[in-house]
Amino acid sequence: MKRNVVLLLALGGVARYYVQSIHWIGERVEVSTPINSFKRVKEGIYLYENGIDPYTGDVVHELPAILVLLVRIFSYMGSFVPLLYILLDLLTASLLYKMAQKFVKIKLAEQKAEILTYAASTDELQLQQADLDIVPRCVFLAYLFNPLSLLSCAGLTSTVFSNFLLALTLYFLLHKRLLPCVLCLALETMRNLYPVVLIAPIVLVFTERSKTTASTAIGIVSLFVAVSFAITSVNYYLMQSWSFLDATLGFIFFYRDLQPNIGLFWYFFTEMFEHFRTMFLITFQMNATVLYLVPLTLKLRKEPLLLATVLIALMSIFRSYPSVGDVSFYLALLPLWRRCWKFMAHNFVVFCFFVVTLSMMPALWHLWIYSGSANANFYFGTTLAFSTGQIFLVTDLLFAHVKREFCLRNGLKIYVEGKEAKIILE
């Protein structure tokens, strides 16, 4: 890794160490949720060390394997535990950097093979050799110095572990290492449920040149299921109880904690009549997982990493307990599609959505909870606007990708009866 990248890593580490001194960050509902809360992890560690099943109540929701590992880490590191979160976040940034380098190399090779099918005067839409340095650096900086990832690390949330596992999954995916890729995805799926949808881009990548696509796909899914069962068995061995399943996957799916967050679940399920709960629960969970999976997989079957990016973004928006740390991860992947930015029409609108809503959330929370001069509608309005801005961003990226592919093969101009009719970009 180049010297300046190492220097940036050091600066990112210092920034995280400094922000961690602001202790109230871990109390913010935008940063900490029932799933990723550091306080709940510490409670689980205390219960485990005292011989009490940490999953008998409704407080601890971390996977037993991670919890036991943290018990060992806490016993050895003590007050240095925050440095572990910083280290993992820096490793995540490094993995994204390496992953972006590999991605650009793959796309350049594909572009070289398809160059004859491109229209004339489309050089500005094509990847250039300079992108081998620019794109990975942008991805690296977009994660390392994103205020949202800084807040997530400062709050000592387990989203740091999630981002690390997702980065490992994408890294192994692009390097076509099936077993470690499936292992990382299965572990993250057992922790947070929603990453199960990433099995689709994995199947697309590993069946790309297979002569027996169906059997290979079934084999990959079977391997994923087998690894998931193996992880479940390890967790059962550690706890000698199945209670962790309801406390982790069950807690996420059935949405039992109505604590406000930056998502959409909490307000609807607070206001909803109980006899409608099951129907809306299934509808919301389908929206967060399988609803978009098939159409997006069919449309983006030739772009598995774009499919993975969009799926990660959608599950960050629609999951039951989202946090700003989830948002920071998929935002770091956007520079991979740098050549699509020319066609993105809502950049300014999305930027305003992000800045205004993220600025208003703490203020409206204070007015609602502490001053009593506002109510839940005020805070939910900002979270709804924040989710809307993210949806604009995802749809804009998808449309930009389609427009770029069209223009690469048909040119930037349309001709009718030999005369220029309209420039698409305008």
Q: What is the mean pLDDT of residues 136-144?
A: 96
Q: Chain centroid to CA 314: how far?
A: 8
Torsion angles phi and psi, residue 58, rounded to 5: -130, 40
**Whole-number Cα distances in Å, 118 to 32, 114, 139, 343, 420:** 47, 7, 27, 17, 19
Is the predicted pLDDT of residue 426 greater than 50, yes or no? Answer: no
Is pLDDT above 70 for 319?
Answer: yes
* pLDDT for residue 78 is more than 80: no
Report DSSP state, residue 63.
-
At 223-238, the pLDDT tens digits run 999 999 999 999 999 9
Angle at alpha carbon of residue 309, lines to 305 and 314, rounded to 5°: 145
Would you state the structure tokens that stand for residue 36, as one six-digit string? 């990723």
Mean pLDDT of 269-273: 88
- The mean pLDDT of 308-318, rounded to a whole number, is 96
Least confident of 65-79, 290-304, 353-367: 65-79
Average pLDDT score over the chain? 92
pLDDT digits (tens, 9 = 90+) for 188-210: 999 999 999 999 999 999 998 77
- Bigger pLDDT: 112 vs 57: 112
Taking each helix axis from N to C end, the angle separating 213-239 and 64-77, rounded to the nearest 10 degrees, works out to 50
Token reading at 126: 């094509």
* pLDDT tens for each residue of 235-248: 999 998 999 999 99
pLDDT at 38 over 80: yes
pLDDT digits (tens, 9 = 90+) for 373-391: 889 999 999 999 999 999 9
User: Is there a contact between 119 and 41 (Cβ–Cβ < 8 Å)?
Assistant: no
Residue at 52: amino acid letter: I
Distance CA 394, CA 313 (A): 7
- Give the per-residue pLDDT at 425: 47
Q: Which helix (H) or strand (E) holds 157?
A: none
pLDDT at 271: 87
pLDDT grade for 424, boundaries at 50, 70 and 90: very low
Are 197 and 311 within 8 A, CB to CB? yes
pLDDT of residue 167: 97
- Classify 419 as helix, strand or coil: strand
Degrees to nearest 5, angle at CA 65 with 60 and 71: 70
The reported pLDDT for the residue numbered 122 is 86
Evaluate if residue 181 carries a pLDDT over 80: yes
How does pLDDT run across 64-74, given as a tens digit for each residue? 999 999 999 98
Orientation of helix 159-174 relative to helix 304-318, angle to 10°: 170
pLDDT tens per residue across span 98-138 = 999 999 999 999 999 999 888 888 888 999 999 999 999 99
pLDDT recorded at residue 419: 61
Question: What pLDDT is stored for residue 417 in this prediction?
Answer: 57
Handedness of CA 407, 409, 414, 420 (dihedral sign): positive
Residue with tokens 């389908």: 286
In degrees and rounded to multiples of 5, residue 53 shows phi and psi of: -65, 115
pLDDT of residue 414: 61
Please compute the mean of the pLDDT values over residues 272-278 and round it to a whole number. Answer: 88
Q: How far apart are CA 371 and CA 160, in angstroms?
A: 32
For tokens 């110095």, name the residue: 145
pLDDT higher than 70, residue 346:
yes
**Identity of the residue numbered 105:** K
Tell me what pLDDT residue 420 has.
59
C-alpha dihedral, 190 to 193 to 194 to 199, nearest 10°: 50
pTM for the full model? Answer: 0.94
DSSP-derived letter for residue 119 is P
H/E element, 420: strand 419-423
